[in-house]
């Protein structure tokens, strides 16, 4: 064959990519967004345990810890533990209210029995 005649040798073509690269989020925070750690989860665990165990012994520390966590999360928008801190505070206050109501009922019950016992003597 003469030069310039015949089949052209195969040269692979590289794919051409146009446009801008796209990044897909996989649940990892964007670089530069640092949220300080809080004790919101510990407060929520204490608040939930207060229903099952000692009542007010766990709920008061839970409310205090949740308040501190809310101060931290309130100063930073979109903090991931803000909802957890709010839930811990609500559950802690509900348990404190239930404890106070139970003590009030206990005082009324035994106070009433004492009055009835003294009136009958």
Domain annotation covers residue 17:
no
The answer to whether residue 111 sits within a structural domain is yes
Q: Which residue range(s) make up the domain with 98?
A: 40-120
In a domain, residue 100? The reply is yes
| Domain-located, residue 25 | no
- The answer to whether 88 touches 58, Cβ cutoff 8 Å, is no
Q: What percent of the chain has pLDDT over 90?
A: 45
Average pLDDT over the chain reads 82
22 occurs within a structural domain? no
Q: Is residue 70, in this structure, part of any structural domain at all?
A: yes
Give a yes or no: residue 96 inside a domain.
yes
The residue ranking higher by pLDDT, 33 or 99, is 99
- Note the pLDDT of residue 29: 53
**Residue range 99-113: mean pLDDT, rounded:** 89
Whether pLDDT at 26 is above 90: no
Q: Residue 69's pLDDT is what?
A: 93
Rg, Å, the chain Cα set: 33
**Number of independent structural domains in the chain:** 1
| Residue with tokens 């345990």, as numbered in its chain | 49
Return the closest-CA partner of residue 44 out of 34, 29, 58, 54: 58
In this predicted structure, the answer to whether residue 102 has a pLDDT above a threshold of 80 is: yes
In a domain, 90, yes or no: yes
């Amino acid at each position: 064959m003469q030069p310039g005649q015949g089949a052209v040798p195969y040269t692979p073509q590289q794919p051409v990519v146009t446009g801008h690269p796209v990044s897909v989020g996989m649940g990892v925070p964007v670089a530069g967004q640092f949220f300080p750690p809080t004790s919101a989860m510990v407060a929520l665990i204490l608040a939930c345990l207060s229903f099952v165990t000692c009542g007010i012994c766990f709920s008061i520390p839970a409310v205090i810890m949740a308040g501190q966590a809310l101060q931290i999360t309130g100063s930073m928008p979109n903090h991931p533990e803000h909802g957890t801190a709010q839930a811990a505070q609500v559950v802690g206050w509900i348990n404190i209210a239930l404890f106070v109501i139970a003590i009030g009922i206990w005082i009324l019950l035994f106070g009433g029995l004492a009055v009835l016992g003294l009136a009958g003597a």
